[in-house]
Chain A
Amino acid sequence: MSLLYTKQLTRAYGGVIAVSDVDFSVEKNSISGLIGPNGAGKTTLFNNVTGMDIPTSGSVHFNDKDITGVPAFKISRLGIARTFQNIRLFKEMSVLENVMIGRHFKSGRSMISGRTVNALTSYMKMKSEEKDVYDKAREWLDFFGLDEARNEAAKNLPYGNQRELEIARAMATEPELLFLDEPAAGMNPQETDHLMSTIRRIRDLGVTVLLIEHDMKLVMNICEHITVLNYGKKIAEGNPSEIQKNPLVIEAYLGKED
C-alpha cells in the first residue's frame, strides 16, 4: 500500500516549471530513493509534499488523506519529517534541545498551556511532560550515538554528527515517513557506511524512508524502489537494477550518445 502518493503534482515558478505532472508514490515500510541530475526538481518535490511550498496544481495524499496545501506544522504532526540538503539545525541550541524541540510539539495540543484554572496541577503536568520529552530525547540521542555530546552547542559538532543530529531531531517528531535530502552529502566513506546502517535501523523501527541522494553507491545499496526525475518530469521508476539499465536514466546522467 502506498503511504504517500502524488497525483499530477506540478509546481511552477512563473514560467519555470520545477515539477511537472509527477505521479509518484512511496510504499509503506520501504526505503525509497528519488534521484536525478541537479535541478531536476527533487527538492521542490520534497518541499511540496512537506508543506513548505504549495503545489501549483495536482495533489498530495498521505495515509489516503489529501494533504495538499496543508501547512507544514500540521503535516509534521500527521507524521512526516524531513532533513535538509544544507543542514538546518538550531545551531545556537544544545544537541539535546534540538532533539527535545522535535519531541515537544508532537502532541499538537494547544501551545498556550497553563490556562487550566488549577495552576498547580497544570504545573505538575508540565513538569511530568517535560520529563517525558527529556527521557525520549535522550533515547533518540542514544540511538544515534550522540548522547555524550548532548550538552554541546549543535554548531560545534563535527559535520557527520550534525547530519545525524538533524535526522535524530526529525525522528523525535515520531514520523511515519522520513524524508532525507542528500543525507550523505559531504560525508567520507566511513561516515556514509555508518549512515547506511543508521537508515536501515530506522526502517527496522517501522518508519518509511525516502531519500534524495547523489551517492549512487548508497542509493543502489539500500533503496528498494527508485524514482528518477529529470527537468521536473518523472522519467523512470523501478528497483535498482532496472534503473541502472534504463536508457532514459543513462541518457539523463551521461548525455545522449551521438
Chain B
Amino acid sequence: MGSISEVFQHLLNGLTLGGIYALIALGYTMVYGILKFINFAHGEILMVGAYVGMFAFDFLRGDMPYGPLMLVVFFIAMIIAMIISAVLGMAIEKIAYKPLRKATRLAPLLSAIGVSFILSNLAAYIWGTKSRKFDYPFDNTAYNIGGVAITPHQILILVVSMILMIGLKLYIDKTRMGKAMRATSLDQDVAALMGIDVNKVISLTFAIGSGLAATAGILVALDFKVYPTMGAMAGLKAFVAAVVGGIGNITGAMVGGILLGLLETFGVAVLGIPQGLKDTIAFGILIIILLVKPEGLLGKAEREKV
C-alpha cells in the first residue's frame, strides 16, 4: 500500500460505491421492516428506473451543450424515473404481494422472484438485450485534489446519496407519516387500531424504496450502462448490505451499504483480491455475518415469540 493520497483515493472510491449500495439496500430493508419479506424484484425496479431515466434524459436534453441547464435536465429526468419507479413499485405490491399477505411466508418471496424475471425479460423484449450508454450530464474529467482523483460523477453520487439518506432519516424520525411507518413495522394490527391506514403505509414504503432504487440505477448506469439484467448483481449486493447492517433497520442499511463499498474497494486495492473475484467479497462477508452475528451489525436479536 502506498501513500496517504492512495488511501484517500480508495476511501473515496469505496464511499461512492457504498453510497449506491446503501440507496438500494434501503429499499430492501424498509420493505422487510414492514412486511418481513425480501422484495427480490427490487433490483429490476432499479433497472426500469435506469431505462426511464435514460430515455427521459435523452429526450429532454436534445443536443444541449454541457452546463448548468443540462444538470437541471438530468435531475428532472431523475425525478421522472423516481416517480415512475415508485408507481411501478406500488403496482407490484398491489398485484403480486398484497393478495399473498396472509399466505405462508414463502409465497410472496416466490412471487417476488417471478416478478423479477418478468420485468427483466420484458425489458429485454421491449428494449433489446444490448446495453445502452447513459451519457454523463457533464464532462466527466477527473479533478486532481492533492493526488486524489475525483470525478464529477463521484461528486454527484456522494451528494445525491447523502441528501437522499439524510432526507429519508429525517422523514422517518420526524414526520407523522414516518411515525406511522415505524409503528406499522413494530405491530401492524395495533398500528391499524391507532387509526393508521396500514395499506397506505405499505404502498408508501414501496414507493420510497423504488424511488431510491431508480436513483441508484441512474447513478450506476452512468458508469456501467443500461441493460435488462443490470439490476440482478446490484440488487444482490445491496441485499447483502442490508443483511450486514441488520435487515429492517434503516440506519443499518446505510451503514451496511457504505461498509460493503469500502470493503470491496480496499479488498481489491489492499488485500490484492483479483478484480474478477471482487464479488466474492460481498458474499463472503454475508456468510461471515450470518455465522457470527446473524441479526446484522445494528439489528436486534429477535427472540421467538410464544
A residues lining the B interface (CB < 8 Å): 50-52, 71-73, 76-77, 81-82, 84, 88, 90-93, 97, 100-102, 104-106, 108, 111-114, 126, 130, 169-170, 173
On whether the beta carbons of B195 and A173 are closer than 8 Å, the reply is yes
Q: Knowing A72-B193, A82-B193, A173-B194 touch, does A105 contact B180 (C-beta < 8 A)?
A: yes
A52–B187 Cα distance when bound, in Å, is: 13
Partner of A52, one of B175, B176, B189: B189
B122 lies within 8 A of chain A by Cβ: no
Given contacts A108-B195, A111-B180, list 8 more A-B pairs with CB under 8 A. A50-B193, A52-B189, A72-B189, A73-B194, A93-B186, A102-B194, A113-B176, A130-B176
8 A–B contacts from the bound complex (CB under 8 Å): A73-B197, A90-B187, A92-B186, A101-B196, A111-B177, A111-B197, A111-B200, A112-B177
| Minimal beta-carbon separation of A137 from chain B (angstroms) | 12
| In the complex, number of A-B residue pairs with CB atoms less than 8 Å apart | 81
On whether the beta carbons of A104 and B179 are closer than 8 Å, the reply is yes
Q: Interface SS of chain A: helix, strand, loop or mixed? A: loop
A52–B191 Cα distance when bound, in Å, is: 11
B214 lies within 8 A of chain A by Cβ: no
Q: Which residue of B lies closest to A108 (CB)?
A: B195
B183 lies within 8 A of chain A by Cβ: yes
Q: Which residue of A lies closest to B300 (CB)?
A: A92
B183-209 Cβ-contact flags toward A at 8 Å (1 or 0): 100110111111111101100100000
A90–B179 Cα distance when bound, in Å, is: 11
CB-CB under 8 A from A111, the residues of chain B are 176-177, 180, 196-197, 200-201
B residues lining the A interface (CB < 8 Å): 175-177, 179-180, 182-183, 186-187, 189-198, 200-201, 204
Partner of B192, one of A73, A84, A97, A100: A73
Among A106, A108, A111, residue most surrounded by chain B Cβ atoms (within 10 Å)? A111
On whether the beta carbons of B176 and A76 are closer than 8 Å, the reply is no
CB-CB under 8 A from B177, the residues of chain A are 111-113
A77–B192 Cα distance when bound, in Å, is: 10
| Minimal beta-carbon separation of A218 from chain B (angstroms) | 23
Among A50, A71, A90, A113, residue most surrounded by chain B Cβ atoms (within 10 Å)? A90
Among B183, B194, B200, B204, residue most surrounded by chain A Cβ atoms (within 10 Å)? B194
Q: Which residue of A lies closest to B204 (CB)?
A: A112
Among A72, A106, A112, residue most surrounded by chain B Cβ atoms (within 10 Å)? A72
CB-CB under 8 A from B204, the residues of chain A are 112
The 3 residue pairs across chains A and B that have the minimum distance between CB atoms: A105-B195, A72-B192, A76-B195
Partner of B187, one of A73, A82, A88: A88
On whether the beta carbons of A76 and B193 are closer than 8 Å, the reply is yes
CB-CB under 8 A from B191, the residues of chain A are 101
CB-CB under 8 A from A71, the residues of chain B are 192, 197
Partner of B194, one of A51, A101, A113: A101
Q: Knowing A90-B186, A101-B183, A111-B200 touch, does A81 contact B193 (C-beta < 8 A)?
A: yes
CB-CB under 8 A from B180, the residues of chain A are 101, 104-105, 111
On whether the beta carbons of A77 and B195 are closer than 8 Å, the reply is yes
| Minimal beta-carbon separation of B69 from chain A (angstroms) | 25
A84–B196 Cα distance when bound, in Å, is: 18
Q: Which residue of A lies closest to B195 (CB)?
A: A105
On whether the beta carbons of A76 and B186 are closer than 8 Å, the reply is no
CB-CB under 8 A from A81, the residues of chain B are 193
Q: Which residue of A lies closest to B199 (CB)?
A: A71
Partner of A76, one of B175, B179, B194, B200: B194
CB-CB under 8 A from A104, the residues of chain B are 176, 179-180, 194-195
| Minimal beta-carbon separation of A160 from chain B (angstroms) | 20
Q: Knowing A88-B190, A113-B177 touch, does A105 contact B182 (C-beta < 8 A)?
A: no
On whether the beta carbons of A169 and B194 are closer than 8 Å, the reply is yes
A84–B197 Cα distance when bound, in Å, is: 20
On whether the beta carbons of B192 and A51 are closer than 8 Å, the reply is yes
Q: Which residue of A lies closest to B183 (CB)?
A: A101
CB-CB under 8 A from B175, the residues of chain A are 113-114, 126
CB-CB under 8 A from B197, the residues of chain A are 71, 73, 111
A145–B176 Cα distance when bound, in Å, is: 26
A91–B305 Cα distance when bound, in Å, is: 14
A52–B180 Cα distance when bound, in Å, is: 18
A108–B177 Cα distance when bound, in Å, is: 12
CB-CB under 8 A from A169, the residues of chain B are 194
A51–B193 Cα distance when bound, in Å, is: 9
A104–B192 Cα distance when bound, in Å, is: 12
Partner of B196, one of A82, A92, A97, A105: A105
A93–B181 Cα distance when bound, in Å, is: 13
On whether the beta carbons of B195 and A73 are closer than 8 Å, the reply is yes
